[in-house]
Amino acid sequence: MREILGELYATETPLQILFVTGLIGGGAAALAGRAIAMTWRPYVQMIGYMLLLAAGVRFMHFALFDAELLSLASYLVDFAWLIAVGSVAWRLRYAAQMVAQYPWLYERNGPLNWRARTST
């Protein structure tokens, strides 16, 4: 694992990676995913925003820790993390909205899903 991180983030420590990509980037991705779902925007739009956010996270690595700015491998790893966090946040909020907005049609089926309400 250390060898893989060394290739992707050559000049940074694991703590720096955790702080910038994990906490700052992940927090921003969660807030963005939630905000996109709250405005009823489609999932595809979230992917575009995460591409931009990954570029911002990559810039923070460069500006704060003198990392390589144009590293495609590091960018893709950052993007993968951001899309995972953003997707979960988007789905959590979207499922909650579907049940709250249409209670006569849908009921909760776990934290990330809903189902058609069964007539009783």
Distance CA 88, CA 81 (A): 11
- Global pTM? 0.86
Can you give the length of the chain in residues? 120
Query: What pLDDT digit, counting tens, does each position of 70-106 carry?
Result: 888 889 999 999 999 999 999 999 999 999 999 999 9
Confidence band of 12 (pLDDT split at 50, 70, 90): confident
Q: What is the pLDDT of residues 62-77, one digit of tens each?
A: 998 888 888 888 899 9
3 pLDDT exceeds 80? no
Tell me how far apart the alpha carbons of residues 23 and 31 are, in angstroms, rounded to a whole number. 12
95, 115 contact by CB (below 8 A): no
**For the chain, domain boundaries:** 16-116
Q: Which two tokens stand for residue 119?
A: 């007539």
Average pLDDT over residues 45-53: 96
Structure tokens at 82: 């951001």
Q: What are the C-alpha distances in Å from 44 to residues 31, 51, 81?
A: 16, 11, 16
To which residue do tokens 């779902």 refer?
A: 37
